[in-house]
Amino acid sequence: MRSLSSVWSLLVSTDEKIRRQLGYWAVTAGMYLLCTGLLWLEVSFGDAPRSATLWLSIVMIGGLLPFFLLIRLSTRLALRPSQLALAQGILAIICTVADYALSGPARGATLSILLVVLVFCTFTLEAEKSHSLSVFAIGLLGLAMFALPHIDPARFSPRLEMIHFFIAAATLLVVSFLTGKLSQLRSHLKAQKAELADALARIRILATQDELTSLANRRHMSEVLADEERRLCASGQPTCLALLDIDWFKQINDKHGHDVGDAVLRMFAWQAQAALRATDVLARWGGEEFLLLMRDTNIDAAAQVLNRVRDRIAIACAAELPHLKTVTFSAGLVAMLPGEGVAAGIRRADQALYRAKSDGRDRVMLAYS
Ligand SMILES: Nc1nc2c(ncn2[C@@H]2O[C@H](COP(=O)(O)OP(=O)(O)OP(=O)(O)O)[C@@H](O)[C@H]2O)c(=O)[nH]1
């Protein structure tokens, strides 16, 4: 069963776009088979020539496999869907006009196939290419309808061909106009969809990221913590939380201005983030306060992480903001207790932070259990 599905995937690809094109190809193949069958029915009635019908059948049915392969390998061959659709459309028009030339008295019905071809191409072709294809169909049909009464006057009457031509040309032009409009609508919808996806991505960023530091914002961090609480209940893994607060930040603002204060916040966020592992989550919790979640981390390892952050900030501050004396932070660190809620953990971290501040700042204080 599994090998059957992998053979199917190999055949029709897993790429959604290629699968859609192969779907169109399958419908086209059905149409070709139907036309060929009907033409052979006419041969059996003595209304169509046998050898010419054989050649046309070979071209129609034989053309299916190369197109299947071209579509299937289009990514590797760097073929665009519009290129393939145009080539398929041209072949279909040529075959339909040949079908018309070979058919007996029922030939008028084959003209409706041209409409199907044009409508099909609308799904992939731009409006201008759809129009060009219609002009090609009208031109080729006109040429055939003009030549056929001269080649075989017994089967083709010039007057009837002229009427057929005007009806077919008018219908093709109207369909071309309508399909052109559809193509434009489709491009418009596609552009709108891309704009919406962009806007959605921007909204998602705005909703989850702090604008100044690009860290997770408080709202997003609250969601992360709610998930973490559920995970903790289930796994019981050691998890640490730390509240980090930049020391004397008001003085930095007052002495050097708000812009420098902002630059300190950005530098702090960038350096702290760079010192963390991919599984740690750092968020801007308030003005100059940050909350750090360290999953699967015991208290000793978490203290080391905070020391790493401290070292990076001291180095970066000396390099990037030499006019500031130094930027330090105080932190309250807590190891979550089994069954303890995140809110209670943050409260303990806050109390530890308060002690770190009152004990002189620039230090990490462990929370009481
Ligand atoms: N530049 C800047 N300042 C901010 C921002 N958010 C909050 N602040 C300022 O951060 C300062 C925080 O000051 P305090 O709460 O007194 O803390 P502190 O001066 O760091 O003192 P300690 O925490 O006790 O060391 C306030 O002056 C806020 O206006 C911000 O986005 N940008």
Over the stretch 282-326, which tens digit does the pLDDT of each residue have? 999 999 999 999 999 999 999 999 999 999 999 999 888 888 878
Asked whether residue 119 carries a pLDDT value surpassing 90, the answer given is no
Determine if ligand 1 sits within 6 Å of the CB of residue 290: no
Determine if ligand 1 sits within 6 Å of the CB of residue 15: no
Q: Are residues 320 and 353 in the same domain?
A: yes
Q: Are residues 23 and 159 in the same domain?
A: yes
Point out the domain boundary residue: 203, 230, 262: 203
Measured CA to CA, the distance from residue 223 to residue 9 in angstroms comes to 39
For residue 308, the domain's CATH number is 3.30.70.270
Q: Are residues 123 and 245 in the same domain?
A: no
| Ligand 1 atom nearest 259 alpha carbon | 1
pLDDT at 1: 59
Cβ neighbours of residue 56 closer than 8 Å, sequence gap 6 or more: 36, 39, 95, 98, 99, 102
Name the residue of 217, 253, 363 whose CB sits within 8 Å of the most ligand 1 atoms, as the mutation to test its pocket.
253
Q: Are residues 137 and 262 in the same domain?
A: no
Under the banding of pLDDT at 50, 70 and 90, the label for residue 14 is confident
Q: Are residues 26 and 152 in the same domain?
A: yes
Which pTM value belongs to this model?
Answer: 0.62
Give the range of the structural domain holding residue 246, as residue numbers without chain letter.
Answer: 218-366
Determine if ligand 1 sits within 6 Å of the CB of residue 257: no
Determine if ligand 1 sits within 6 Å of the CB of residue 357: yes
Name the residue among 88, 22, 21, 23 with its Cα closest to residue 60.
88
Name the residue among 172, 203, 216, 226 with its Cα closest to residue 341.
226
Q: How many CA atoms lie within 13 A of 195 on its CB side?
A: 6
**3-class DSSP assignment, residue 282:** strand
Residues taking part in catalysis: 288
Question: Going by DSSP bridges, is the β-strand pair 364-366/329-335 parallel, antiparallel, or unpaired?
Answer: parallel
pLDDT digits (tens, 9 = 90+) for 206-256: 999 999 999 999 999 999 999 998 887 777 789 999 999 999 999 999 999
Counting the structural domains of the chain, the total is: 2
* Residue 292 and residue 281 in contact, taking contact as beta carbons nearer than 8 Å: yes
Name the residue among 181, 231, 183, 3 with its Cα closest to residue 85.
183
Asked whether residue 85 carries a pLDDT value surpassing 70, the answer given is yes
Q: What is the mean pLDDT of residues 50-54?
A: 96
pLDDT at 108: 87
